[in-house]
């Protein structure tokens, strides 16, 4: 089985490994040697020295710039920001799991589940988000949007911000300055079940203009006019794009101008651009705040041989999400003994906005057991929020960690990049970046931390998701 992480090794690690391999037995290749330094993101962003393919449908991905949460290298303050990131991540997961919970299908997804994180941390779309720039209107204004495979509806903050707009980096879009903006009227066919299914909220009506509302958690939402506008991606222009022109927007969306919904619903960006892009997109998420990733629309079929595919599954109760079949895991080259039914019970989605991968409790226990065994020589540190396997690496300059692999149907193995295995709060609190679900029936989530540096290909038209060695760092 080809472990993808082999390919994404930084050259110096490869060199070290080759050196080691020529003298030692091959089990060494089941480990990564990483420097402690690499676990700490460098916030002073070095601007775009990297050459990007200038294909029209390729957008640069950046980490939300307010997300440069810098872990401290001292043990004194367990950085509030890492704690906050984890709590906000849990808030997103709670929202997703409530939507997919079989027990609470008929009720409002936001009321059904007790959310366990403190209220003052806010309820957000999630903190581990990535942004891309999309042009809106005529003449066009470029806006930074959080791209989100876990939601369908695209919205931006709009003047006159009747109720409220949060602070954003770009000037707030003003539809009255655009020649191509129109409101969708309440009698439009779209202002009904279609909009409802994209937003999970019944549309309203204000002086004959259709009003949408979308909520991501208790305190994070956007409400405004349902509109049609011309949008521009590179050279590609889409004249009749349906979106939300937000008049009341609150929550932790950072300084972004809104959200680009890449779910599967008929109103999602992917569906609305399907005639051009054929329901296909891919991304490579950068591991560091200073690095640039790529979000590419359209198919790159024929795919390189290094890309391995797993079937994309559908579930009627979770129409917007991308389900796939996680069937097993490996640690340090050994496949964990986890029964397939453990993963099958709640199913698994892949999500661009959840940071930490969530596993069924039994799968997490197996992973933790094997990981702790492989890491036995390092002292444990304090748990951090949802993460219970943390190490104190004070005094170490490099560490050796076991490789982690995820197996998807029909048996492809996707390696987790070394930077996707651990998350650092401080040098004395570096944690295994996986977490258990509370309930064996909750959906598992393949999070973005474990997707870094992979090319993740959503071939929605052909119902498959592919993983290849990434084109970003
Ligand atoms: C962060 O990056 C900048 C520029 O890339 C560099 O000058 C600086 O030394 C780096 N800082 C750390 C702590 O690595
Ligand atoms: C859209 O509808 C709202 C509410 O009816 C109205 O205030 C606004 O002027 C309309 N915008 C345009 C561009 O027609």
Does residue 285 sit in the same domain as residue 312? no
36, part of any domain: no
Does residue 355 sit in the same domain as residue 279? no
| Ligand 1 neighbour 42 (Cβ under 6 A) | yes
Alpha helices in 254-326 (DSSP H): 269-272, 274-277
Nearest Cα neighbor of 465 from 275, 317, 294, 314 is: 314
Look at residue 407 in the predicted model and tell me its pLDDT: 98
User: How remote is the CA of residue 71 from the centroid of ligand 1, in Å?
Assistant: 14
CATH number at residue 216: 2.40.70.10
CA angle 243, 244, 248 (to 5 degrees): 170
Look at residue 42 in the predicted model and tell me its pLDDT: 60
Look at residue 234 in the predicted model and tell me its pLDDT: 85
The whole-angstrom separation of Cα 436 and Cα 383 is: 14
| Ligand 1 neighbour 70 (Cβ under 6 A) | no
Torsion 181-186-189-195 (CA) sign: positive
**Ligand 2 atom at shortest distance from the alpha carbon of 207:** 5
Phi, psi dihedral angles at 353 (to 5 degrees): -105, -15
| Per-residue DSSP letter, 264 | S
**Ligand 1 atom at shortest distance from the alpha carbon of 43:** 1
Does residue 164 sit in the same domain as residue 235? yes
Residue 459 three-state SS: strand
Write the burial class of residue 326 (CB in 10 Å: 0-12 exposed, 13-18 middle, 19+ buried): buried
Neighbouring C-beta atoms of residue 350, cutoff 10 Å:
27
Look at residue 121 in the predicted model and tell me its pLDDT: 26
403, part of any domain: yes
Q: How long a stretch of residues is the chain?
A: 473
- Among candidate residues 245, 265, 295, the one where a domain is terminated: 295
Residue burial 395-424, b: 16+ Cβ < 10 Å; e: rest:
eeeebebbbbbbbbbeebbbbbbbbbbbbb
116, part of any domain: yes
Look at residue 105 in the predicted model and tell me its pLDDT: 44
Does residue 422 sit in the same domain as residue 284? no
Look at residue 102 in the predicted model and tell me its pLDDT: 62
- Among candidate residues 230, 265, 295, the one where a domain is terminated: 295
The whole-angstrom separation of Cα 128 and Cα 60 is: 16
User: How remote is the CA of residue 4 from the centroid of ligand 1, in Å?
Assistant: 29
Does residue 273 sit in the same domain as residue 352? no
Give me the active site residues, please.
Answer: 148, 351
Does residue 376 sit in the same domain as residue 437? yes
Write the burial class of residue 9 (CB in 10 Å: 0-12 exposed, 13-18 middle, 19+ buried): middle
16, part of any domain: no
Does residue 267 sit in the same domain as residue 321? no
Alpha helices in 58-185 (DSSP H): 80-100
Does residue 259 sit in the same domain as residue 310? no
Nearest Cα neighbor of 162 from 211, 215, 220 is: 211
The whole-angstrom separation of Cα 345 and Cα 334 is: 23
Number of domains in the chain: 2
Six token digits for residue 432: 């295994």
379, part of any domain: yes
Does residue 186 sit in the same domain as residue 323? no
Look at residue 289 in the predicted model and tell me its pLDDT: 67
User: How remote is the CA of residue 174 from the centroid of ligand 2, in Å?
Assistant: 11
427, part of any domain: yes
- Nearest-CA residue for ligand 1 atom 5 is 46
Look at residue 111 in the predicted model and tell me its pLDDT: 35
Look at residue 319 in the predicted model and tell me its pLDDT: 73
Nearest Cα neighbor of 261 from 172, 150, 97 is: 150
- Among candidate residues 250, 274, 295, the one where a domain is terminated: 295
32, part of any domain: no
Look at residue 473 in the predicted model and tell me its pLDDT: 74
User: How remote is the CA of residue 181 from the centroid of ligand 2, in Å?
Assistant: 10
Question: Are 384 and 429 contacting, i.e. CB atoms less than 8 angstroms apart?
Answer: yes
Does residue 66 sit in the same domain as residue 114? yes
Does residue 333 sit in the same domain as residue 423? yes
Look at residue 117 in the predicted model and tell me its pLDDT: 23
- The domain in which residue 420 lies consists of 304-469
- The low-confidence residues of the chain, meaning pLDDT below 50, are 1-28, 46-54, 65-80, 104-126
Does residue 264 sit in the same domain as residue 402? no
133, part of any domain: yes
Look at residue 43 in the predicted model and tell me its pLDDT: 56
Considering every ligand atom shown, identify the ligand nearest to the alpha carbon of residue 177 and give its number: 2
Question: Are 97 and 116 contacting, i.e. CB atoms less than 8 angstroms apart?
Answer: no
């Amino acid at each position: 089985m080809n472990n993808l992480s082999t390919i994404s090794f930084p050259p110096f690690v490869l060199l070290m490994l080759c050196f080691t391999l020529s003298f030692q037995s091959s089990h060494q290749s089941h480990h990564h040697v990483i420097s402690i330094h690499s676990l700490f993101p460098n916030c002073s962003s070095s601007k775009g020295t990297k050459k990007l393919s200038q294909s029209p449908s390729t957008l640069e991905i950046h980490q939300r710039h307010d997300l440069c949460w810098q872990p401290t290298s001292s043990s004194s303050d367990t950085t509030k920001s890492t704690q906050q990131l984890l709590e906000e991540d849990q808030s997103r997961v709670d929202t997703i799991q409530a939507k997919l919970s079989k027990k609470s299908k008929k009720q409002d997804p936001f009321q059904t589940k007790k959310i366990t994180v403190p209220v003052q941390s806010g309820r957000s779309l999630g903190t581990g988000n990535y942004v891309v720039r999309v042009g809106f209107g005529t003449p066009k204004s470029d806006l930074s949007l959080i791209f989100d495979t876990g939601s369908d509806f695209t919205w931006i903050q709009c003047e006159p911000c009747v109720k409220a707009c949060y602070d954003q980096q770009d000037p707030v879009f003003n539809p009255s300055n655009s020649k191509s903006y129109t409101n969708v009227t309440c009698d439009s066919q779209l202002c009904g079940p279609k909009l409802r299914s994209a937003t999970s909220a019944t549309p309203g009506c204000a002086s004959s203009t259709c009003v949408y509302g979308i909520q991501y958690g208790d305190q994070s939402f956007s409400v405004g006019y349902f509109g049609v506008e011309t949008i521009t991606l590179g050279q590609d222009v889409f004249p009749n794009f349906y979106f939300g022109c937000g008049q009341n927007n609150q929550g932790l969306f950072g300084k972004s101008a809104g959200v680009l919904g890449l779910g599967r619903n008929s109103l999602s960006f992917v569906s609305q651009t399907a005639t051009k892009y054929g329901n296909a997109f891919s991304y490579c998420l950068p591991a560091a705040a200073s690095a640039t990733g790529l979000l590419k629309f359209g198919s790159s079929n024929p795919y390189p041989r290094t890309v391995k595919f797993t079937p994309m599954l559908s579930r009627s109760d979770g129409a917007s999400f991308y389900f796939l079949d996680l069937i097993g895991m490996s640690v340090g080259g050994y496949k964990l003994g986890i029964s397939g039914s453990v993963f099958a019970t709640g199913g698994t989605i892949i999500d661009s906005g959840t940071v930490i991968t969530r596993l069924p409790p039994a799968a997490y226990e197996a992973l933790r057991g094997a990981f702790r065994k492989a890491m036995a020589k390092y002292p444990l540190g304090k748990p951090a929020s949802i993460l219970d396997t943390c190490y104190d690496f004070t005094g170490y300059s490099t560490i050796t960690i076991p490789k982690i692999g995820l197996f998807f149907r029909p048996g492809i193995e996707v390696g987790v990049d070394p930077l996707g295995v651990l998350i650092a709060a401080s040098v004395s609190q570096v944690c295994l970046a996986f977490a258990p679900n509370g309930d064996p029936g909750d959906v598992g989530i393949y999070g973005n931390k474990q997707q870094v540096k992979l090319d993740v290909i959503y071939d929605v038209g052909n119902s498959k998701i592919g993983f290849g060695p990434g084109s970003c760092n």
